[in-house]
Amino acid sequence: MDERDRKALEDIEKFGCHVLNVMEGEEQPCFSYSIGIEKTLNQPELIIVGLKRELSHSIINNYRQRLAAGEVFISGAFYSDFIEGFDVTFIEMDKKHYKEYLGWGLWLYSGNNFKTYQLIWPTTAGIWPWSENKSEYYVWAQPILNSSGVLEKI
């Protein structure tokens, strides 16, 4: 176990989760995700793709705090107070994407036997992934990590 592993485990012990931020690559937008939420609260981990690191980190901490306070989030329902002025929704991430996105989660849980929600966010113009007039950039910035890669209107 190295120093990064110890830091992750300490964060989970102290804060209830550890947040990992992955920088944008040539083919892929930046993303952030939690590890430890299922271990400490028995609720799904969270991944956010395409939003700035600081915002994503704050949203993940807000999500964990709300879970710790007893709130329950349901895939396909809309929630406010994560991004000011906008609702968000959650979908269940398909396990086929875990290896590409959730390496530390696979490490922590010794495999893919854990649940992860993807936070789905609209554009500032209120465009959602199921909107017909979405831009190519938005499609790239927020890939849909369910089994089909497509999100029908919620």
Neighbour tally for 11: CB within 10 Å: 16
Q: Check pLDDT > 90 for residue 152.
A: no
pLDDT at position 2, please?
A: 86
Token pair in block for residue 36: 């430890």
Task: Write down the domain spans for the chain.
Answer: 3-141
Token pair in block for residue 92: 């269940």
In the predicted model, what is the mean pLDDT of residues 1-21? 87
Residues 6+ apart with CB under 8 A from 74: 90
Kindly report the average pLDDT of the chain as a whole number.
93
DSSP reduced 3-state for 3 = helix
Q: Check pLDDT > 90 for residue 144.
A: yes
DSSP reduced 3-state for 118 = strand
Q: Check pLDDT > 80 for residue 83.
A: yes
Q: Of 76, 79, 103, 101, whose CA–CA distance to 90 is shortest?
A: 76
Reported pTM: 0.94
Measure Cα distances from 123 to 2, 120, 130 in Å: 39, 10, 12
Q: Of 56, 58, 67, 71, whose CA–CA distance to 119 is shortest?
A: 56
Per-residue pLDDT tens digits for 118-139? 999 999 999 999 999 999 999 9
Per-residue pLDDT tens digits for 27-79? 889 999 999 999 999 999 999 999 999 999 999 999 999 999 999 999 999 99
106 close to 112: Cβ distance less than 8 angstroms: yes
Q: Please give the backbone phi and psi of residue 4, each rounded to the nearest 5 degrees, phi first.
A: -65, -40
Q: Of 87, 70, 4, 75, whose CA–CA distance to 46 is shortest?
A: 75
In the predicted model, what is the mean pLDDT of residues 102-106? 94
pLDDT at position 8, please?
A: 80
